[in-house]
Structure 1
Amino acid sequence: MDEKITSRDNPKVKYACKLADSPGFRRSEGRFFAEGRKLCPELARGAALEQLFYTAAAAQKCPELAGLPGQHFLVEEHVAQKLAGVPAPQGVFGVFRTPQHTLDEVRRGGRYLALERVQDPGNVGTLIRSAAAFGFDGVILSEGCASPYAPKTLRASMGAAVRVPVIETGPLPPALARLRQLGIRCLAAALEHSEPLGPVPAEHPAGVCVVVGSEGQGLEGDTIAACDAAVRIPMTDRVESLNAGIAGSILLWHFREVEV
């Protein structure tokens, strides 16, 4: 029988809440917290689920939860309210071990997305999801990006953060230098001295890396200089720019692996 948690001050509940709230704690523990009836089972397909919390109502609606790995805890509604990060919680929460990926996994011929200082978790999650959808081999995040395992980012990526390798690194230029040593063509999304996306070949035998910055700040000059070329998305003058999630997804579609 699953252990029942009736107190909001239970140490396991406090630990889960701290994982949700603190990027530094997530890094030091090598774990992350997620919420959602669909999201938690999806994440369990690619990350080790260590603890699963759910309400009686959620267990009744989702009998498949009983088949998930890890320790299971039945929590009362007021405990679920403390764990919840959204106004209408679904009553299912999990603590997962964080997948570990490094630049050593980058391979010649692969397709990669690199993000620089994209701070909005919705944009980071959307771009990780798009990278998975369009067959990319990995996502590289510079320092200053939203955490890929923060609750808001996980909700936006819909579990894609464990389906495509996510590599967290420091400044982007040294990382891009490593890719270029493998022959991977690095393309900066920028306006100055750029080519329109249409004529840019989608295929490159040694691989490609699409490099995207935030909408407000764009890419650093050193980062653009570290790339092979710059590309832009042709559009009308009705708007000045697209947000990072939309612009990056268009670029990912152009350089996709799959035929659609």
Structure 2
Amino acid sequence: MHQVRCAASHASTSSAAASSSSSPRLPAATDISSTANPYIKHCVKLRESSRYRQQQRRLLLVGQTLLSELAEEAGPSLDILVLFLRPGTDLPPGITAERVITVSDSVMKKLTGLEEAAGVQVVAELALPQYVDLQSWSRTSAHSSTSSSSNAAAAGSHQAAAGPQQQQQQQQLQRLLVLEAVQDPGNLGTLLRCAAAFGWDAVWLLPGCCDPFNDKALRASRGAALRWPLAAGSLQELLELVQQRGMLLLAAHPEDPLQQQPGSSPGDVKGVDALSGSNTASAGKQQQQQQPVCLVLGTEGAGLSDEVLAVATPLAVPMSGRMESLNVGVAGAILMFALSEGLQQLLGRLQQLGQVRGPDHDTQ
């Protein structure tokens, strides 16, 4: 069953809350052709400055594809303040805004900050999402799912048959991604996108991370920062949550457990396969009994802080090639996939294909 997950409470705030006393009034004009227009300058500053975004409680989203995907998932809760369109561009289906303004090519280029902005037809000013409180968070309250009518009926009958204990387990925080001092917006956006793609429940940002609503981060995440539960806080607050939820705290580590240095303990660093398991026959049972996981990733250069490494179990991606380490976006994607249901599903699928197409199978 395909699931579309979004956090409605995270994806929107009211217009009143988004507009502070110092925020500029929404423009009355329906056409803007000058890059010197005060409201255009305001929007450019939203794109360029994290502090200004926080002050104004607004952000700028560039591109119709991202906006349409966000609107499809968030629905009426999506709060679009101003929609900027090129001349002759139709309003995207299912999208409404308090103001719709046609802008010249030079203004559109100024808004996007791109050297080649000819392909961009839409830019939107949105209310800045709020971070979620994971202490009271549950999957049923933050995520919604859509499916075909047959799948929905099957899911409904399964839920009806599930007892109270199983329903309570379905609401628990099962997989939490934590980022520490990830300052590159491309890497941070990639990790948010992978967390959403692999079904991780939420992302926690420790101090030192770049702004997830940075223009580059939004593009790299395909808008995941706007429709996926994001939390932010200190390491101490994270540890309290981990203890409260009974989670296994893992720390991504560059050392390969298959190539231990002399004098080191083989059990110090665990490989992905040690935690994910490879027995596809019991994959479903293993998944039900799996302990909730909290995975912490750090910067590619400095890695994780000593404070994190002191309280977490190191976890590495085994590598047989001649590379010292992987980019944090790549390593994080591998670890998240390996620790998710996706790995077991893939192994099960490969097993099924092996039964159908053995080494001597005639494809003719």
Deviation per CA, 1:66-110, whole angstroms, max 9, x where unpaired? 641212111111111211222211131111112212333445442
Deviation per CA, 1:139-179, whole angstroms, max 9, x where unpaired? 1111211211110000000121123111122x334313322
Determine whether 1:93 maps to 2:177: no
Deviation per CA, 1:187-232, whole angstroms, max 9, x where unpaired? 11114631111111365644111110010011001012232x1110
- AA paired with 2:322? R
* Alpha-carbon distance in 2 for matches of 1:106, 1:201: 25
* Alpha-carbon distance in 1 for matches of 2:254, 2:216: 30
Alignment partner, residue 124 of structure 1: 188
Alignment of 1:11-90 (within 5 A): 11-44=38-71, 45-46=73-74, 47-56=78-87, 59=89, 63-65=90-92, 67-70=94-97, 71-89=99-117, 90=120
* Alpha-carbon distance in 1 for matches of 2:239, 2:96: 38
* Alpha-carbon distance in 2 for matches of 1:257, 1:74: 46
Unaligned runs of at least 5 residues, structure 2: 1-28, 139-171, 256-267, 278-286, 347-364
Alignment partner, residue 244 of structure 2: 181
Deviates more, 1:4-13 or 1:199-208: 199-208
The two structures have a TM-score, normalised by structure 2, of 0.65
Residues 168 and 154 of structure 1: is their aligned pair in 2 closer, same or farther, counting only changes over 3 Å? same
Determine whether 1:153 maps to 2:217: yes
The count of corresponding residues between Structure 1 and Structure 2 is: 254
The two structures have a TM-score, normalised by structure 1, of 0.89
The structure with more radius of gyration: 2
Alignment of 1:104-123 (within 5 A): 104-107=135-138, 108-123=172-187
Alignment partner, residue 251 of structure 1: 335
- AA paired with 2:56? E
- The Cα of 1:36 is off from its aligned counterpart by 1.1
* Alpha-carbon distance in 2 for matches of 1:85, 1:42: 22
Deviates more, 1:207-216 or 1:43-52: 43-52
Alignment partner, residue 219 of structure 1: 304
Please give the root-mean-square deviation of Cα atoms over the aligned residues, in Å. Answer: 2.1
Determine whether 1:136 maps to 2:200: yes
* Alpha-carbon distance in 1 for matches of 2:136, 2:63: 30
- The Cα of 1:233 is off from its aligned counterpart by 0.4
1:103 and 1:175 in contact (8 A); partners too: no
Question: For 2:324, what is the secondary structure of its paired residue?
Answer: coil
Which structure dedicates a bigger proportion of its chain to strand?
1
- AA paired with 1:32? L
Identity across matched positions, percent: 36
Question: For 1:251, what is the secondary structure of its paired residue?
Answer: helix
